[in-house]
Amino acid sequence: MPTIASKGGQQLGQQHTITILVENRPGVLARVAGLFARRGYNVDSLAVSITEDPTMSRMTVVCTGDAYILDQITKQLSKLVDVVKVADYTDMPMMERELALIKVNAETPRRGEIMQLVEIFRASIIDISETTFTVEVTGDVEKISAFEQLLRPYGIRELVRTGRIALVRGARTAAQS
């Protein structure tokens, strides 16, 4: 009996990291985002920037869900005329990083404690006001989440994360994968 493909809808599943190389031109993000939206697929994080080749941008999309739907989305993405390359890094040896800026309450008596945390996490304080520190931290998702947890008791006023970026280990590049 022929196997019926999944019925669709976002189900709990593995988290995927997808790298998309696209032409660096207006409207491409909307095309890519549209494909995720149409399948009701929520994006956990998205990072876009230009690459070593200024005519190309690189999108790193992190999302969780049904592998079948994701496979469909990847195939549809490959069909977009502006997409040069799509690669699912999920099962590849890769390095993932994220950067966060955190504005945290830093009243004088507690500044020392916070500075210690910053040191341990190899983060850095990039701005100081009378009542706050703004801290920059880089690392994998777990590290940033752990750091955030530890700062939380001091009162986080504002937090922004870049979304994950990823490269595969070794000499291989996305264009070759």
Partner 1 sequence: MASSNPKKSSIQTYQTKGSSSARPRDDGKLVSGARALLLALKDQGCDVVFGIPGGVMLPAYDVLYDEGGLSHILVGHEQGAAHMADGYARATGKVGVCFSTSGPGATNLVTGICNAMMDSVPMVAITGQVRTTSLGKDAFQEADITGITLPITKHNYLVTDPTAIPRIIAEAFYIASSGRPGPVLVDIPMDIGLAQIESEKIEDVRIRSYNPDGIFNIDNIEMAARMIDEAERPVLYIGGGAISSGAYDQVTELARKTNIPVTNTLMGKGAFDETAELSLGMLGMHGTAYANMAVDQCDLLINIGARFDDRVTGKLDSWATGAKTIHIDIDPAEHGKVYIPDVSLIGDCKQVLNALIPLVKDRPRTAWNEQVDAWKTEFPLWYPTGQNEVLYPQHVCDELFKATDGEAIVATGVGQHQMWAAQFYRCKHPRSFVTSGGLGTMGFGLPAAIGAAVGVTDRPVWLVDGDGSFIMTNEELMPAVQHKIPVKIAIINNFCLGMVRQWQQMFYDQRLSAVDLSYQPDFVKLADAYGAVGIKVQKPSEVRAAIDEANSVTDRPVVIDFQVAPEENCLPMIPAGQTIQQMLVEKPR
In the complex, which residues of this chain contact partner 1 (CB under 8 A)? 1-5, 22-27, 30-31, 34, 38, 55-56, 68, 71-72, 75-76, 78-84
Written as six digits, the tokens of 61 are 């999309």
| Cβ neighbours for 142, distance < 8 A, ≥ 6 positions apart | none
Q: Which is nearer to partner 1, 27 or 112 (CB)?
A: 27
Q: Which is nearer to partner 1, 59 or 83 (CB)?
A: 83
Cβ contact 104:135 at 8 Å: yes
Q: Which is nearer to partner 1, 26 or 93 (CB)?
A: 26
DSSP 110: G
What is the spatial distance between Cα 136 and Cα 158, in angstroms, rounded to a whole number? 12
CB of 21 to partner 1, least distance (A): 8
Q: Which is nearer to partner 1, 1 or 12 (CB)?
A: 1
Cβ contact 156:104 at 8 Å: yes
- β-pairing verdict for 124-128 and 132-139: antiparallel
CB of 89 to partner 1, least distance (A): 19
Q: Which is nearer to partner 1, 35 or 118 (CB)?
A: 35
CB of 81 to partner 1, least distance (A): 4
CB of 6 to partner 1, least distance (A): 9
- β-pairing verdict for 15-23 and 56-64: antiparallel
CB of 161 to partner 1, least distance (A): 28
Name the nearest CA neighbour of 63 among 27, 93, 20. 20
